[in-house]
Amino acid sequence: MRAVTNYHIWTIGCQMNEADARRLGDELDVVGFAPAESAEDADLVVLYSCVVRQAAENKVHNQLMRLREVKRRRPDYKIVLAGCLAGEETAALQRAYPFVDLFVSPKADISLRNQILDLLDLDQRYRQEPEGAQRAPGVSAGVTIHQGCNRRCTYCIIPFRRGPERSRRPAEIRAEIEGLVQRGTREVVLLSQIVERYGWDLQPRTTLAELLTLLNEIEGLERIRFLTSYPVDFGTDLIEAVATLPKVCEDINLPIQAGDDTVLRRMARGYKVADYLRLVEALRARIAEVAISTDIIVGFPGETAAQFENTLRVMEQVRWDVVHVAMYSPRPGTVAATWPDDVPKAEKKRRLHAVEELQREIAAQINARLVGRTVEVLVEGQKDGKWYGRTRSNKLTFFPHPEPLAGELVQVRITEASPWALQGELVRRQPAAPRPTQIPLYLSA
């Protein structure tokens, strides 16, 4: 009998790290490894790291320092560093973290599971004989479909760490999702840094719209989401796919980053505010009740107070459902990091709070319109005695019910709304009625 290897996976950062960690966990379970509650209880720990902001990189460093202490006590302890920090020069990383056993760059196409088996010196049987039982995945699971990015936004470190764009084959993605559905997943979130570029590198070439059409056929799968979108790549074929494929949710994550053309040009985003607004108009004209979220960076080098005010004006114009806002922080190796980081920290914070405050008002108004309506919710779990799940438009919704409901599609009548979540009562447990195709709920002001 094999000795069981206990593993622990620690993640930080984007949903792609979470999805990759879930997939690695599945692969390790199949070959008979067992998940450990904590890094200290494990024989092997894998860190999926993030360097998008300095704060995330600091957390990875702190975690590595904690693991160094474990390794001092237990020399057989194995530490694997994956994710974007490992995309850097391995020699420099080896000097900084000599106690790490394996660095796995996200640019590498070799299976992480096989590299781990090599590291542990485990024989060929592990590669061939499924032995372990896989844990149930979440009701909603992320699935990476495309890695890397060929663009060069001036503030962004990702292309350097994740490398050029590579798509996974449609059949491989479909097989992974069918496996998840068999184990209880009802919704998948297709992940990529730049999701509309999916399939351009494949032979034969394919598109995200074609992939969505293929995945829409999977029996037992209820919902499909995808992110992150890029404004100039979002084509009419994709708008049609979202509008017509029943499982594809009306939920688009479309980062604008700044609402000022000069700042956008310095970010090298490749579009103007007017291009973005045209796309929002096209989405809202064709897709009933589409929810659109965005990302905004405040305090980019050279961003004046007036340019920042333009971002607030665009927020009032577009009225996004959700805004993820972050203060600019220079990432060594990027073009913007060679420019003076000239917006003082206090001013960055002021801009951040101004975006948050305005968005709180807008989201409160958008969500208040749902009070009294009945919406379809996919139930994900229970918290503080209430069930929670998300609407097709990705609104977190809570409601009480005495029976188990996880994984079910239910109809919930909304009784209360806040900027962040909805409260309601269960109306029925049957699948939703056909989607409305007429009037958008919230038009731009």
Q: Which stretch binds ligand SF4 (CB under 6 A): 70-78, 155-163, 349-357, 359-367?
A: 155-163
d(CA 329, CA 155): 8
Q: Which stretch binds ligand SF4 (CB under 6 A): 65-73, 147-155, 388-396, 430-438?
A: 147-155
By CB under 6 A, is residue 158 in contact with ligand SF4?
yes
H or E element, residue 386: strand 386-391
d(CA 218, CA 116): 32
Identify whether the C-beta of residue 95 lies closer than 8 Å to the C-beta of residue 172: no
What residues pair up with 142 in beta bridges, in sequence order? 189
Nearer to ligand SF4, 292 or 422 (CB): 292
Identify whether the C-beta of residue 216 lies closer than 8 Å to the C-beta of residue 246: yes
Shortest gap between Cβ of 157 and ligand SF4 (angstroms)? 8
Identify whether the C-beta of residue 430 lies closer than 8 Å to the C-beta of residue 411: yes
Nearer to ligand SF4, 163 or 170 (CB): 163
Nearer to ligand SF4, 246 or 332 (CB): 332
Shortest gap between Cβ of 338 and ligand SF4 (angstroms)? 16
Rg (C-alpha) for the chain, rounded Å, is 23
Shortest gap between Cβ of 278 and ligand SF4 (angstroms)? 19
d(CA 351, CA 312): 9
By CB under 6 A, is residue 51 in contact with ligand SF4?
no
Q: Count the Cβ atoms, other than its own, within 10 Å of residue 416.
A: 13
Shortest gap between Cβ of 234 and ligand SF4 (angstroms)? 13
Which of 7, 33, 48, 230: binder of ligand SF4 (CB under 6 A)?
230
By CB under 6 A, is residue 16 in contact with ligand SF4?
no
Which of 194, 315, 318, 377: binder of ligand SF4 (CB under 6 A)?
194
Strands 386-391 and 140-144: unpaired
Q: Which stretch binds ligand SF4 (CB under 6 A): 144-152, 276-284, 285-293, 384-392?
A: 144-152
Q: Which stretch binds ligand SF4 (CB under 6 A): 64-72, 153-161, 271-279, 340-348?
A: 153-161
| Residue 163 backbone class (left: φ over 0; alpha: ψ -120 to 50; beta: rest) | left
By CB under 6 A, is residue 156 in contact with ligand SF4?
yes
By CB under 6 A, is residue 87 in contact with ligand SF4?
no
Shortest gap between Cβ of 252 and ligand SF4 (angstroms)? 15
Name the residue among 156, 325, 322, 356 with its Cα closest to residue 252: 322
Quote the Cα angle for 432-436-442, to 5°: 115
Nearer to ligand SF4, 57 or 376 (CB): 57
d(CA 75, CA 99): 9
CA quadruple 14, 196, 210, 161: dihedral sign = negative
Nearer to ligand SF4, 18 or 376 (CB): 18
Shortest gap between Cβ of 268 and ligand SF4 (angstroms)? 8
Shortest gap between Cβ of 320 and ligand SF4 (angstroms)? 18
d(CA 325, CA 323): 6
Nearer to ligand SF4, 153 or 315 (CB): 153
Which of 13, 25, 32, 159: binder of ligand SF4 (CB under 6 A)?
159
Identify whether the C-beta of residue 331 lies closer than 8 Å to the C-beta of residue 51: yes
Nearer to ligand SF4, 42 or 52 (CB): 52
Distances (CA, A) of 379 to 176, 187, 225, 373, 391: 22, 10, 16, 18, 9
By CB under 6 A, is residue 221 in contact with ligand SF4?
no
By CB under 6 A, is residue 153 in contact with ligand SF4?
yes
Tokens 């708008």, located at residue: 239
Which of 59, 151, 247, 360: binder of ligand SF4 (CB under 6 A)?
151
Retrieve residue 443's tokens.
């038009």
Distances (CA, A) of 179 to 172, 301, 407: 11, 46, 16
Nearer to ligand SF4, 326 or 406 (CB): 326
Give the interface with ligand SF4 as residue ranges (CB under 6 A): 149, 151-153, 156, 158-159, 193-194, 230
